[in-house]
Structure formats: C-alpha cells, structure tokens
A and B are shown apart, each in its own frame.
Chain A
Amino acid sequence: MFDTFRQAMAWVHTGFGLMLGYVLMVVFFFGTLSVFDREIDRWAVPETRFAVQPMPSFDQVLAPVFQRLRPDPDDVERTARRVAGELPDAASLPLVSLFAYTTHRDPVLLVGAEFGVPNAPLDPADDHLHVHGRAQVDPRSGEFLPENRLQIGTEFFYPMHYSLNASPAIIGYWVVGLAAMSMLAALVTGLVIHRRLLRELFTFRPRKRTQRSTLDLHNLTGVVALPFHFFFALTGLLIFAAIYLPVHDSLLQPLDRQHEVMEAARTGLPHEPAGVPAPLASVDAMVAQAKARWAQRGIPGEVGFLTIEHVGDRNGYVSVFRAGSDRVALVGEGIHFRASSGEILHEDPAPSAVHAVSEFLTGLHLQHFRHWLLRWLYVVGGLVGCVCIATGFIFFTERRKRQWALHSPQALRWVDAFAVTAVTGMVLAVLGMLVANRALPADLPARAMWEERVFWCTWLCTLLHAYVRSAALIRGEVSAAWREQCIGIAALAVLAVALNWMTTGDHLWHTVTTGYWPVAGVDASLLTVAFIAFTAAVRLDGRGAGATSTAVEPVEVSRG
C-alpha cells in the first residue's frame, strides 16, 4: 500500500502527528510550566510566600500533624465500593504507614498516609487495600494549609502534563502515553522524511511564504532539540512503565511477590506487620543518626523523604532518605531504623549499574536537583518542542488551505480553530486561571474547583472564538482569531500581575529588590508574555495574510 519506506514513514508522521499533536502540545506546554511548578504555587497561594524550609522535627511538629491527618473523603468513597460491608467511620481508621516529602524549593511540606481498612475486599486479589490521606503543612507551625487553596503549579499544571487532569486519571495516562510514543515515532519518521539533518539546522527563511517558513521552523526546531525531545518522551514513558506495561502486576506477579518477600528477608525490613503494638522511639534521633552516617560517607545532606511502615506495630520501621538537590537521582542513600528502638536495620548499598541508570533517567526528567540555569534550559527545550509541534499543524493547514477553501471550507475553519486553541487558547486558559486565582474571594467555598472551571471555560471559549473569527481563511487570509487572542494574552497577563499586586502587595519592584524570586519570576515571565503577545498582535495586524508563522510562534517562546 505504501510504495516506498519514506512514503510509509511520511504517512505515520502526518497521521499520528495530527491525531495526537494537540495532546503533545498540551504535554509539552504544561511540562514546561511544571519546571517551575513550585514557584507558580507560591504565586497562587500567597499564604505560602515564605522561605524554603528543611524537613521539620518529627517528634515536635510532624507527630501531632499525623494525628490530625484524616483519610481523603473521595478515596474513602471509592474504597467503600471495593469492600464487603460498611466502612467504619473514616476518623477511626488506623494509620498504618506515612510519609513526608520536601525538596530544596519547598517552603511547605507534603505529608501523606495510608489508613488500614478492616473490611474484606470484594475481589480477593485486591490485597494491600488502604485509604489514603494527604495534606500540605506549614513546617514552621505544623498547621495544615487552608483546604480551599489550589497549588496551581503542582496540583493542576503538573498533573495536566501527564494525565490531562482527566477523570479517571488512567484515561489521561494512556492518552499521554500514546502521544509520547507518537512523539518518538514522529522524530524518527521526521528524520527519514527529511534526511538532510545539517542543512535543516541552519535553514530558516522567515520572509518566504508562510508555508515555506513554517516548514523551515518545524524542521529546525525538530532537529535542534532532537535529543531533548527524544529523551523526554522516552523517559516520560519509562517513569510510568509500571502503568503502561504492568507485567509485574499480572503475568509475572508471582515472581514480583516472591521478590518482595525475599527482599524483606535480605534487608531485614519486615514485609508484614507483627500484630503486636509497639511505641515509636524518637524519630529525630534516627534522623540525626542518618545525617551523621551520610556525613561520615562524605555525602552530607538534608532529609528529602521520610517514611514509616507498619506504624505502631512491633515490625514498624522508619526510612530516612537523602534529598537529591546535589545530583540527578531524586532521593536515595536510605537508612532504615527499627521504629520501636531506633537501631539501624539496614543501610541501602550504592545503587547497582541498572538502578543507577534507571535513577538517572527518571531524575533527569523530573529534575529536582538544584541548578537554576539548567532549569531554564529545560524551559527552552520544552518551548522549542511546542514550536515544533505547533508549526507542524500550521504547515499542514497552510499547505491545504487553497484546496480546502474550495472543497471543504468548514473543515478548514475547524482545523485552524483547533490550532489557534492549542497555541494561543492554551496560554489564555492558563492566564484566565491565574487571574481567577487572584480575583476570586479568598473565602469562597470550593474555590479550587472554580479556578479549574475558569480554566476549562476559558479554553472552550477560545475554541468557539477561533472558529467564529476564522471566516478570513476562506479568502486565503490569516484568521483574525490569532491576532485577537494575542491581544487577549497581553491583557490577561498584565491583569494577572496587577491583581497579584493589589491582593498581596507584592509588586514586581518589591519582589525583585527583596530577592523573592519565585513570585518575581512568575510576574516577570507574565510581563514578558504580554510584551511578546502584543508585538505579535501588532505584526499580525500589519502584515495580514502570510504572517502566521513568524508572528505567532514567539508567543510560545516566551512562556516561562
């Protein structure tokens, strides 16, 4: 059916690129925003605009926090459907395991716990049944953050990057996984189609026809960041390997379970609780001991991750992991203590070659290390990816514009409307959400839900707007939606900065002079976006037809 190999590869490139290009655009854009997710959190939740905190004292601060932590009502409801009989009162469920997690960019601490369920599961294979609870804590006081605050960066933009915030999330995981695989396929097939790697790298003719310059930009961005794009699509898949290819949980489950039990015997870390209650020794003393061990080994560091398994049981153990601020792997060098006595049960050996490779691949994608320049390079790489994808579908419509205008003008208008929605519309939805975050009253019930609604509604409106204003396409001109949405971006970005000033008093001059970079960075990025979007709008106005590629793309390039 395909005459040549290149023809087959071209079909795969166009077909899967068009079908999943929009998803990829979302994944790349929100992945780019997630590089600074915690900084966006600070902007969106002014109560958390204080200095970064280390892991607080467990005995003084965290122990009472975990006593107050309750199961998540949604998770209780989901679990109730999977067990026989009525679940007991959620507040009475016993805490069986807990964790606390922080990085060098977090003033607030993420804590979570698993609560035991006495009921028998409906499905006998459904072992390890628990309900979960989690919360954000001010580590200075041990207070929970107010319930109705949405940490937009880590709780909305970041999950958007890998799950599209779909419900249930598993659908989003699979769509994103398919898109990531399409990205890998598009990169390989793109190389097969074009062949002239070096020439693409130095070819950009912005003053030629839109179709030509769009393709130049598509090829250039595709080639210049090829290793970055390939690596991130691949490591993204690998991070979720257990979801995409769950052989360990199905076909090979017996081997997996056998390994768990053997591992427990080898390390001395009990796999099951003993059923005998036991008190908890001082966790602070264990943390101090872990820090001393790291210092002895020449790797002094802070605690990034702390867990307790089998809480309150004689088999309970405390694991203290070192934060990965100074290397690529996320957390590691775990030291495990018997919870009741504080004696060391096991010290993680240096990772084997395979583990080191795996930790490196995951760590390079999730980048929790401390290096601001590298962090910005991730942003550049992500935006180059956005430009590559967007120019891909703009080229697709440009090439077919004349023909489609005659035969199927409606299809042409919709395809272009989707392109507008995926580029300027997505930026508008993000800005709409930030504006809502600052404009909605602080004590509004379900405030977080309203912020999310504003996001989705704004995005939907940009699609309708893009379709309604696309009549010019039929005459072979650029849709007015591009220019108008650029103006919208400029206006909303400035409004977001102004609202931040009005509601918190943290204007850009103040945050820059006091060196509070999380908020200063978001504000400065917003103003840069406004400037570039405005410039793009002016150029679109001046050049009319043929200006799409050169004037609109920089909007994406500035987003940070």
Chain B
Amino acid sequence: MARKPLRHRQPGALVRRSVLAARVFASLFGSYAFVWGASSLLIVAQVAGGIAWDEAWMVGMLVAFPGFLAVFLWSYSARSVLRVWVCLFGVGAATTVLAAQWQLRLLAGV
C-alpha cells in the first residue's frame, strides 16, 4: 500500500512486509477458523440445550458473520501479530474439536 504506517523502531522493509503479510493472512484465514469453530460450538450448545437444529443453525449463522467482521478488525488493531495468530487459530481449533466431541456425545445420547 502506498500509505506507510508511522513507526517508532525502524525494522527492515522485508521484516515489515512479512509481519504485515502474516497479519493479513491471519485476518482472513484465522478469522475464518475462529468463526468456524465458535459458531459450530454455539450451534451444538444450543442443540444440547434443547433448541431445534435448524433454529440453532440459523442463530449460529446470524452471529457468525458479524462475528467474523469483529475478529477481522480486531486482528488489525491488536498490537502483537503473534497474539492474533494464537488467539484466532488456537481458539478456532479448540472450539472445532470441542464442538465435534460434544456432537458425538449428543448423538450417542439420543
């Protein structure tokens, strides 16, 4: 981009570009992983709470897209790129596994 951010320290151009690329990557794919897991967990939790699947799914979707917008913007405002990666991919993976496990227990219980 033509507009370069001001900075206190002066790291090399290559470092700056890599950090920016890492942030852009996480803002798209990390946010997707986060929303994937979190909305799945939200849906499964609703089903576990007795809400019909189709309604739970709809509520999950209604939350997922504004949720993506929020974490997408957060990934640019957060100070540390490392934290963005850990939070987005970490929470995404954890909630995905949790949702899958919970689903198994729900199906076994029926």
Is B49 an interface position by the 8 A CB rule? Answer: no
Chain A, residues 212-253, CB within 8 Å of chain B (1/0): the string is 000000000000000000000010011001000101100110
Q: A1-B7, A181-B69 are in contact. Are A258 and B58 (CB under 8 A)?
A: no
A184 to B110, CA, bound (A): 41
Does B106 sit within 8 A of A, measured CB to CB? yes
Rounded to whole angstroms, the CA-CA distance of A202 and B55 in the bound complex is: 43
The one of A15, A188, A245, A247 that contacts B1, using a Cβ cutoff of 8 Å: A15
The answer to whether B99 and A1 have CB atoms under 8 Å apart is no
Residue of B at shortest CB range from A234?
A: B65
Sample (29) of A-B pairs whose CB atoms are under 8 Å apart: A1-B7, A2-B77, A3-B8, A7-B5, A8-B77, A9-B77, A11-B76, A14-B1, A14-B3, A185-B69, A185-B72, A188-B73, A234-B65, A238-B61, A241-B61, A241-B64, A245-B64, A247-B36, A247-B39, A247-B57, A247-B60, A251-B36, A252-B44, A252-B57, A255-B53, A258-B107, A259-B54, A263-B54, A357-B58
Residues of A within 8 A of B81 (CB): 1
**Which A residues are CB-close (under 8 A) to B35?**
245
- B107 neighbours in A (Cβ, 8 Å): 254-255, 258
Taking CB atoms, residues of chain B closer than 8 Å to A12 are 73, 76
Which of A's residues lie within 8 Å of B, judged by CB? 1-3, 5, 7-12, 14-15, 18, 178, 181, 184-185, 188-189, 234, 237-238, 241, 245, 247-248, 251-252, 254-256, 258-259, 263, 352, 354-355, 357-358, 400
- Residues in A whose Cβ lies below 8 Å from that of B40: 247, 251-252
Known: A234-B65, A247-B60, A354-B58. Contact between A11 and B5, CB under 8 A?
Answer: yes
Which chain B residue lies CB-closest to A241? Answer: B61
Q: Please determine whether B59 and A354 come into contact, CB atoms closer than 8 angstroms.
A: yes
Total number of A-B contacts with CB less than 8 angstroms?
A: 110
Output the least CB separation between A195 and chain B (Å): 16
Instruction: Give how many B residues have a beta carbon under 8 Å from the other chain's beta carbons.
Output: 46
Q: With A and B bound together, what is the CA distance between A178 and B27 in angstroms?
A: 12
Interface SS majority for chain B: helix
- Which B residue sits closest to A8, measured CB to CB? B76
> Using Cβ atoms and an 8 Å threshold, which residues of chain A touch B39?
245, 247
Q: Nearest residue in B to A6 (C-beta to C-beta)?
A: B77
B53, A259: Cβ atoms closer than 8 Å: yes
Give residues of chain B (12-59) contacting chain A, Cβ–Cβ below 8 Å. Answer: 16, 19-20, 23, 28, 35-36, 39-40, 43-44, 47, 52-55, 57-59
> Which A residue's beta carbon lies closest to that of B104?
A254
- Verify if B62 is at the interface (C-beta below 8 Å from A): yes
> In the complex, how many angstroms separate the beta carbon of B107 from the nearest chain A beta carbon?
6
- Taking CB atoms, residues of chain A closer than 8 Å to B65 are 181, 184, 234, 237-238, 241
Minimal beta-carbon separation of A162 from chain B (angstroms): 15
Q: Is the CB of A181 within 8 A of B68?
A: yes
B61–A188 CB distance below 8 A: no
Which residue of A10, A178, A254 is within 8 Å of B103 (Cβ)?
A: A254
Known: A7-B6, A8-B76. A1 touches B61 (CB 8 A): no
A263 to B47, CA, bound (A): 14
User: By CB atoms of chain A within 10 A, which of B23, B65, B100, B107 has the most?
Assistant: B65
The reply to whether A259 and B73 contact each other, CB–CB distance below 8 Å, is no
Q: Contact: B16 with A1, CB < 8 Å?
A: yes
Distance between Cα atoms of A7 and B5 in the complex (Å): 7
Distance in Å: Cβ of A186 to nearest Cβ of chain B: 11
Residues on B with C-beta less than 8 A from A357 are 58, 62
Given contacts A11-B76, A255-B106, contact A400 B64 (CB under 8 A): no
Contact (Cβ within 8 A) A1 B20: yes
Docked pose: A259 CA to B7 CA in angstroms: 54
A248 with B55, Cβ < 8 A, contacts A9-B73, A181-B72, A189-B73 known: no
- For the complex, what is the distance from the CA of A15 to the CA of B73, rounded to whole Å? 13
Q: Chain B nearest CB: distance from A44 CB in Å?
A: 34
Chain A residues near B23 (CB, 8 Å)?
1
Q: Chain A residues near B100 (CB, 8 Å)?
A: 251
Compute how far the CA of A3 lies from the CA of B68 in the bound complex, rounded to whole angstroms. 24
